[in-house]
Amino acid sequence: MFLIGWNGILPRTSISGHPLSHTALTWVSALLTNCAQKHLCSGAVPSHSPKRLLAIRIAEDGQIKVKLVEPEKLSAPYIALSHCWGTERSCMTTRETLADNKQDIPWNSIPKTHQDAIKFSLKLNIKYIWIDSICIVQDDEADWEIESSKMADVYQHSYLTLAATSSSGDSKGCYPDIEGPSYESEIDVPEGATGISKVFIRRPLKHWNNLPATMVAQEFPLLSRGWVFQEKLISPRILHFCSTELVWECHELSVCECGGFGANDISREQYLTIRTCENTNVSRMDTPYISPYGRN
């Protein structure tokens, strides 16, 4: 049996399998570079810096070090985290812990969602991250009123917002510690008289732009929160950590690893111009697709 009618099969790109994989980091880095150099979203150096940030680094012994800093003027990019706190309230900055947090925040005291965001930021070689529960003094009414009123500026001037989109709480994490089983299966398909083609098959991945509201809240808990609308609208670029893949949104482009985000709404020719997974070629992103849930 020969496989004919390839035009009836919409091409898709392979997914990386894990956000910390080489494939995923290459994909994200290419999108960041393309956006910073060619889009009008924003540059790498912020024109405004938050009052407090977490300074993150890898020590000589390989351990990740985190402390709270109050830079007068920041000349380096920072990342902002968009997340659901959940029912647990751990690792917050209070008046009692403020001084200690400026010296060191023990790694094992940091919830997994924050740890995952910090690890990913370091992989992108970005050494500052803003997390609301640690960068705002939670039991200081005056500090809360002042700093919470500046949250729009924090997200607007961030280099990248990391969104724990499939996580319902800070203890859940942005992604699993260990790469899970592949979502793809490989089969050999006869083609022509002697040729054999390899075809990868997977179930369609879920995307929030074509799900009913009840399923969006179940699959992507962060997107059911009202305040996240502001964070999505204001952030120049967002990387969503979803349960099966990464999704990128900026002012000029919305795309996921598998290529199915909004693909039902665009032509085959348009889709082929925004394939950006393995061996990413930024120059191919000539006709970006702006999803209804993206920013214009």
pLDDT, residue 197, reads 74
Asked if the structure places residue 56 within a domain, the reply is yes
> Per-residue pLDDT tens for 92-117?
999 999 999 999 999 999 999 999 99
196 pLDDT tier (thresholds 50, 70, 90): confident
Report if residue 83 sits inside a domain: yes
If pLDDT is split at 50, 70 and 90, which confidence band does 241 have?
Answer: very high
Least confident span in 82-86, 196-200, 235-239: 196-200
Does residue 277 have a pLDDT over 50? no
Q: What SS3 string covers the chain?
A: CCCCCHHHCCCCCCCCCCCCCHHHHHHHHHHHHHHHHHCCCCCCCCCCCCCCEEEEEECCCCCEEEEEECCCCCCCCCEEEECCCCCCCCCCCCCCCHHHHHHCCCHHHCCHHHHHHHHHHHHCCCCEEECHHHHCCCCCHHHHHHHHCCHHHHHHCCCEEEECCCCCCCCCCCCCCCCCCCCCEEEEEEECCCEEEEEEECCCCCCHHHCCHHHHHHHCHHHHCHHHHHHHHHCCEEEEECCCCEEEEECCCEEECCCCCCHHHCCHHHHHCCCCCCCCCHHHCCCCCCCCCCCC
Provide the domain count of the chain: 1
For residue 119, the enclosing domain spans: 11-178+205-284
Establish if 189 belongs to a structural domain.
Answer: no
Report residue 273's pLDDT band, with 50, 70 and 90 as the boundaries: very low
- Determine contact, residues 272/24, Cβ cutoff 8 Å: no
Does 296 reside within a domain?
no
Q: Are 128 and 79 in contact (CB under 8 A)?
A: yes
Task: Answer yes or no: is 237 within a domain.
Answer: yes
Q: Would you say residue 225 lies in a domain?
A: yes
- The answer to whether residue 145 sits within a structural domain is yes
Mean confidence (pLDDT) of the chain: 82
> pLDDT category, 68, cuts 50, 70, 90?
very high
Which residue did the predictor score with more confidence, 192 or 167? 167
Domain-embedded: residue 291:
no
Tell me which range, 30-44, 177-191, 264-278, is most confidently predicted by mean pLDDT: 30-44
